Amino acid sequence: GAAVSRGRPHLVRSPQVLVYDLLFGKGLKCGGRWKALARRHRARLEAELARMKVRHKVSRNEDLLAPEKAVSTAASQVPRYVRVNTLKTCVDDVIDFFKRQGYAYLGKAASVEELKALSGKKFLLDLHLPELLVFPSQTDLHDNLLYTSGHIILQDKASCLPAFLLGPVAGSHVIDACAAPGNKTSHLAAILKNKGQIFAFDVDPKRVATMNTLLTRAGVTGCQLAQQDFLTVDPRDPKYSRVTHVLLDPSCSGSGLVTRGPGEEVAPSPERLQALAGFQRRVLNHALSFPALQRLVYSTCSLHQEENEDVVQAVLQEWGSAFRLVTAFPSWPCRGLAAFSGAESCLRASPAETLTHGFFVAVLERCKEGAAAPSFLPAAAKENSQPGKGMEPGAAPKKRKKKKQRVK
């Protein structure tokens, strides 16, 4: 009351602010009876905080934040990740190029802390992915010759995980079910060394056109890109009889993305999450119905259990013993939420723990040949549906047989 009576109401601090400073901030900066009162109850406040973390099954204070807020607070720490496009060059040549541009190469990272400490014109080789370079977060390479020529792809580390974990061998037939904007598709092509066949689908004509341009720039061949809803693709079509791998990254809430602007951090409503999860279950069921399928990766850029572990659990239950979860990247620090037995086989990523966008990945494999499918038709593979118009990415620069193309 003294501050108000002296005409200084801005000096009055609410009890909530004082408690925040005491438990989460840099200590109490005020004095007098407020400081004494807060200190007198400090033990009780800390005990209640500990009980709250136990109730929510978290170990860190920041994990008590709403998922979207937790992402926002850690966004500034996410580095600039650069995937080397091995269809057109190699890691050593890209490192040499950046060194000639004045960047200092610090070698392979040994920990996430090393990535977090990057600053200035310094870069590292990622500690998990062999073709991923890491730069400070503010590094802008959109006008760099390596990017404009398709020799490097600006792609978040978490977004590189699905194709990496799918791991098809050269010559495989692969489906990228919800493919736009195409970074994962070009990553698949690089893993396949442009040997084999990729069937990529997206329903939006503008995104398909953009994707065609991106794949051409990346030197991708052997990819049939179709403007088509994946749910209308018939798994029984002989065209897909050799498809052994599917990458499925369906529409989601996007709650894990750290690049969203102000006003986009509003959590989706329960109704919205329910609708998304319903679509995700349908499309995952459909993807599993391809007869020659051996391995599938399901991924989202969502933080919500409803779109991640719950979807995987529901679909696995529907397919019985036909498919099983495979432990994705055992050395990865973030695992799936304990929503069901075996959920730790799934993988999660977050700005705070892995210095990436928020992400979820599950790897499913067929248990045995000829395993029975569910009693229902998993997706709307319509007999009379008209397939979308397929297109091949335009002619791309040919790769040298003996040595990767080098940018000078």
Q: Is 229 annotated as a binding residue?
A: yes
Q: How far apart are the first and last CA of the chain?
A: 71
Beta-strand pair 132-135/80-84: antiparallel
Q: Binding site annotation covers 190? A: no
**Residue whose entry in the numeric block shows the structure tokens 């994946």:** 230
Whether the bond between 136 and the residue before it is cis, its omega within 30 degrees of 0, is no
> Is residue 171 helix, strand or coil?
coil
Catalytic (active site) residue 301: yes
Is 130 annotated as ligand-binding? no
Tell me which DSSP letter residue 363 carries.
E
Q: Which of 301, 334, 346, 367 is catalytic?
A: 301
237 is in an annotated binding site: no
- The answer to whether the annotation marks 53 as part of a ligand binding site is no
Radius of gyration of the chain, Cα coordinates, nearest whole angstrom? 25
Dihedral sign, CA of 104, 105, 106, 109? positive
Q: Is 180 annotated as a binding residue?
A: yes
The annotation status of 209 as a binding-site residue, yes or no, is no
CA 285 to chain CA centroid, Å, is: 21
351 assigned ligand-binding residue:
no
One DSSP character per residue, 222-289 reads SEEEEES-GGGS-TTSGGGTTEEEEEE------TT-S---TT--PPPPHHHHHHHHHHHHHHHHHHHT
In sequence order, the β-bridge partners of residue 80 are: 135
DSSP state letter for 165: H
- Token pair belonging to 95: 């490192």
143 is in an annotated binding site: no
80 SS3 class: strand
Strand partners, 324: 365
The verdict on whether residue 181 carries a ligand-binding annotation is: yes
Type and span of the H or E element at 19: helix 15-23
The answer to whether 406 and 229 are in contact (CB under 8 A) is: no
Q: List, as residue ranges, the binding site for S-adenosyl-L-methionine.
A: 178-184, 202, 229, 249
Residues flagged as binding site: 178-184, 202, 229, 249
Cite the active site residues: 301
